[in-house]
Structure 1
């Protein structure tokens, strides 16, 4: 069974055809006050449209959502809708922490590309050079193919919980090693020969974390903290490893274990070691916007490597994917770069405009597991990225 965790696509698509049940709670929707909304010159942020977009997500059944929109011309807006807890309804903190899921992949990719810049890793070298004997067919799978999901390696998350979300929940405190995750992948047939197609696989980014450790001699999460989190001042972000609880103010996270018509189950406290360097980041909207602004602004990588990171090829689902980075194109806002992350009970949407003038991050404390929810999330992305209006 393939579980929709650690989001597999750069696009927000309506992939389910199931109706949405009434929300499993009876508390009124509340709104956090607008934290800041400033304007400079002839432009301003359309706060009403942005708030309406967040409200539509909670109206579609999500317990809550927080967002930060930054615009070089019009300022910064922080907003929220819904509740931080279904058991004890309370306002969401717009600066609260959440599990960022596969947004982690861009941090892992950036670290690998920094090692490439330092000539410690070669993009087109086989992974066998760095991790001998670990990867089936490792002599034919390059570091680049791991970064852009063209290795063909089976994703261990497709098969780790054959009993579905119920089994995942029952084993939520279990610890996994990267070696166990790679072994789970190796027990299954590859999707295709390396380089012949593209398919999103979390196994690729677990291996990249192991590569970081092998080359630097340091734990991958500590290495990424040293190279990215500390220099950028991302003081509220950390890699959770096998830590069960989120450290700091945060909303509770919920899942429908038996489909969108079932009641919500609190899935906040969980061991995400199974996500490894593919998805253990805990962060805030502010920190993620800061990271992506620095990345796309050229502060973390040489121009030649940032260019390669942004060079997209289509995965087998049609979505564009570069080296740990995805792209979305829409007439309403043009081209944006970023990543989507789904880690059990939190979904994160994080994009930066091509000219780096606007950053948008919003986090929902439940997966988008219905057509209505996915439509609301997609509409919110459009509204938030189109929020810079001429006065």
Structure 2
């Protein structure tokens, strides 16, 4: 995973271009010129918008529009939830660059690694039911799949302390030039992957460290976790998330597809910048992400999920305490629990996860006591980032978490956000 705050195109050139970042090495960085519709913002009738926003305590609309107008995003939408109410919800940008139609606040989007929090919640429920133990070795459920699997626990998978190599860092998932990126766009993004295929790539590399002796964000951990859920329950991890979380909470716009390349319902398109202009990457085969990041949702559903999780509706207090027991995550300047990130801000702690997949970036964060949530999706035109991109995202993040001045304290020093968007 990228270790610096906001990796611009030059930095990504040095790292190699991963599937999750998908930018053009060496291509000219072009700022997206906003159309009138992009600048206009909200894509819902005024009467509906007013009903959705009863007296906002914080207005993040200007930041959303900055991200679109000057930060290289084609669309951005967000929602704040406080004590079960929705004081703010807004959107800026367009559904697609061809039509220029304004994006709706209820649009669906790919959530990337925010999927991990759903998957971890299911595992903790299974532990509460006595169907597995977090300190059981991987070998018990997936014999012969992982070298040294007897020394790696489920807990270490969930906390990224297993040391297993991230399959997305293998050369076959990296793009070093324009030709290889074009090959991905034409053929690679339609490829079907089995979870076993992805794990095989990951375990084909030497581990980063011995189990429990460090921290490194590795998507291989959650592919294995999804396989363990299937072994224990006899059902796919997608079905277990649906029956245990999505259906009870009525997250009607949240899905976890298998091979379907489409996003159902209203949604903004995702793009990658090529020398001749933006290329639509909305449709792709999500099996490349599987239990590490294939989900689709809305800001409203994500906020509802976060509120239920931290409000004690999905886990017992003891299991939630385990989920929020963290280890240092130095490469993202944060702390990591079991499928959860803790960021320490000027105004205190926030909990949740971030995610990215080609064309889409997601932030879901909130208070530990379940009183406040913030969900944001933005369609960054990869390869068209500007000097204002990172600052706009930081401002949204800090203002949503800490209040209008971005600190939670009048006159307090605003330090740089530690936010890292994880794939």
From 139, 150, 154, give the equivalent of 2:161.
150
Question: Gaps spanning 5+ residues in structure 2: where?
Answer: 12-27, 409-423
Instruction: Give the equivalent residue in structure 2 for 1:13.
Output: 5
Distance apart, 1:63 and its partner CA: 0.7
Pick aligned residue for 2:64 from 36, 45, 54: 54
Q: CA offset at residue 251 of structure 1?
A: 0.7
Contact 1:246 / 1:269 at 8 angstroms: preserved in 2? yes
Asked whether 1:362 is paired with 2:386, we answer no
SS at 2:380's partner residue? coil
- Match of residue 386, structure 1, among 381, 402, 406: 402
Aligned to 1:250: 267
Does structure 2 conserve the Cα–Cα contact (< 8 Å) formed by 1:53 and 1:383? no
| CA distance, structure 2, for counterparts of residue 280 and residue 17 of structure 1 | 25
Q: CA deviation at 1:167?
A: 4.2
Gap change, CA 1:278 and 1:153, over 3 Å in 2: same
Q: After the TM superposition, which residues 334-373 of structure 1 pair with which residues of structure 2 at under 5 Å, given as runs? A: 334-366=348-380, 370=385, 372-373=388-389
| Structure 2 partner of 1:113 | 124
Contact 2:152–2:211 (CA under 8 A) maintained in structure 1: yes
TM-score, normalization by structure 2: 0.83
Question: 1:23 corresponds to which residue?
Answer: 31
CA RMSD of aligned residues (A): 2.3
Tell me how far 1:210 sits from its aligned partner: 0.2
Q: Report what 2:237 is aligned to.
A: 220
Q: Alpha-carbon deviation of 1:111?
A: 0.3
Shift in Å, 1:219? 1.4
Query: Which stretch shows the higher mean deviation, 162-171 or 352-361?
Result: 162-171
Q: Are 1:320 and 2:365 matched, yes or no?
A: no
1:232 corresponds to which residue? 249
1:115 and 1:90 map into 2 onto residues whose CA distance is 44
2:196 aligned residue (152, 155, 179): 179
Q: Is the 8 A contact 1:45 1:74 kept in 2?
A: no
The gaps in structure 1 that reach 5 residues or longer are none
From the superposition, tell whether residues 388 and 52 of structure 1 become closer, same or farther in structure 2 (CA, over 3 Å).
Answer: closer
Q: Call closer, same or farther: CA 1:355–1:245 in 2, change over 3 Å.
A: same
The residue that corresponds to 2:21 in the other structure is none
In structure 1, what is the Cα distance between the partners aligned to 2:310 and 2:85?
19
Q: Do the aligned residues in 2 keep the contact of 1:206 with 1:277 (CA within 8 Å)?
A: yes
Residues 71 and 389 in structure 2, CA contact (< 8 A), matched pair in contact too: yes
Aligned to 1:270: 284
Residue of structure 1 in register with 2:318 after alignment = 304
Q: Deviations over 1:122-173 (max 9, x none)?
A: 1111110111111111011000000000011111111132435444323111
Deviation, structure 1 residue 23: 2.6
Query: Are the counterparts in 1 of residues 342 and 350 from structure 2 also a CA contact under 8 Å?
Result: yes
Could you tell me how far 1:24 is from its partner in structure 2? 3.6
Q: Is the 1:340–1:348 contact (alpha carbons within 8 Å) kept by the matching residues of 2?
A: yes
Total equivalences in the alignment:
372
Distance 2:231 2:356 in 1: 27
The offset of 1:385, in angstroms, is 2.3
- Between the aligned partners of 2:273 and 2:312, the Cα distance in structure 1 is 40
The Cα of 1:319 is off from its aligned counterpart by: 2.5
**Against the structure 1 CA distance between its residues 218 and 155, is the aligned structure 2 distance closer, same or farther, given a 3 Å change threshold?**
same
Offset of residue 195 of structure 1: 0.5
Note the 1:23-172 alignment, pairs <5 A: 23-28=31-36, 29-32=39-42, 33=46, 34-35=49-50, 36-39=52-55, 44-47=56-59, 50-58=60-68, 59-72=70-83, 75-159=86-170, 160-164=172-176, 165-170=181-186, 171-172=188-189
Shift of 1:69: 0.9
